[in-house]
Every structure is written in structure tokens, then in C-alpha cells.
Amino acid sequence: MKAVVQRVNSSSVMVDNEITGAIDQGLLVLIGIHQDDTKDQLEWICNKIAKLRIFEDGEGKMNRSVQDVGGGILLVSQFTLYANSDKGTRPSFIEAAKPDKAEPMYEEMIEWFKIKTELNIQTGEFGAMMSVKLENDGPVTIILEK
């Protein structure tokens, strides 16, 4: 499982010109699910995202989590995180989980955040063409992989 976590002042996602999710301060999380991913990896990455201390404290040090600042999480599925472009110029996505595995895991991640945190959890739409807008804060971008 791979996540690109961006600290944002705001972020939104649109599908067919309609906003499906939007947050103010928080994390935009682009999530890629590998064909071999397990529930243990899902729980690890969700826990890591929820506790990742990348927001500034009163002294300007990155010492607070999204939960500490009462931020939101915008979770967007992105199979292209598993692109392999080692050969040629057209990426292969063979390592990305097929939709019949990836979609239930994505939905499970959404539920994990809703149950385990009190954060505003917003989402994109699995498998849709999406337009994602964000205003980076920092910018701070962290890549997590398990």
C-alpha cells in the first residue's frame, strides 16, 4: 500500500463537475492499493496517517497530528501510484490491485478513519475521473509505503 500525504490549507475533489469531497486544513491522501496488500497493511497505513506529526506546534516545529489540529482528511484512490515505467514510455499498472480487491479496501479505509477518529473524512469516487484541487501548506508531502 502506498500513500502520498500532503498537508493542505484546503483541498477538494470533483467528479462530473460536482464536488464529492472537500476539506479545509488537513491532509489530502492519495492512496494506491497493491495487488498483494492485506488488512494489516491497511491498518498500519491508516494508523500512520492519523498520527503523522506534520503540523506545526506553537514553536513552529512539526509536532502535531491531523487529529491534534482538528483537521480533515480527503482520501482519494489512485491506482497510478503503482505505475511502473522502467521499460518504454507507457507505464504499466500490473502491480495495482484490480478493482474487485481495491474498492473494498478503499471503502474499509474510509470506515477505519470514520470509526477510529473524530475527523472530517471526505472522499473522491472510486474508479472515476476526478479533478483534485489543493492548496499546499508548506509544502509538506510525505510518501508512506507498507
Is 78 an annotated catalytic residue? yes
Is 123 an annotated catalytic residue? no
Q: Which residues pair with 31 in a beta bridge?
A: 3, 77
Q: For residue 66, how many C-alpha atoms fall within 13 Å in the half-sphere facing its CB?
A: 31
Ramachandran assignment for 17, one of left (phi > 0), alpha (psi -120 to 50 degrees), beta (any other): left
3-state secondary structure of 105: helix
Assess contact for 56 and 62: CB atoms under 8 A.
Answer: yes
Instruction: Report which DSSP code applies to 98.
Output: P
d(CA 76, CA 62) in angstroms, rounded, equals 24
Catalytic residue among 35, 38, 80, 141: 80
Catalytic residue among 78, 113, 122, 123: 78
Is 80 an annotated catalytic residue? yes
Catalytic residue among 6, 25, 79, 123: 79
Q: Tell me how long the chain is.
A: 146
Task: Give catalytic residue positions.
Answer: 78-80
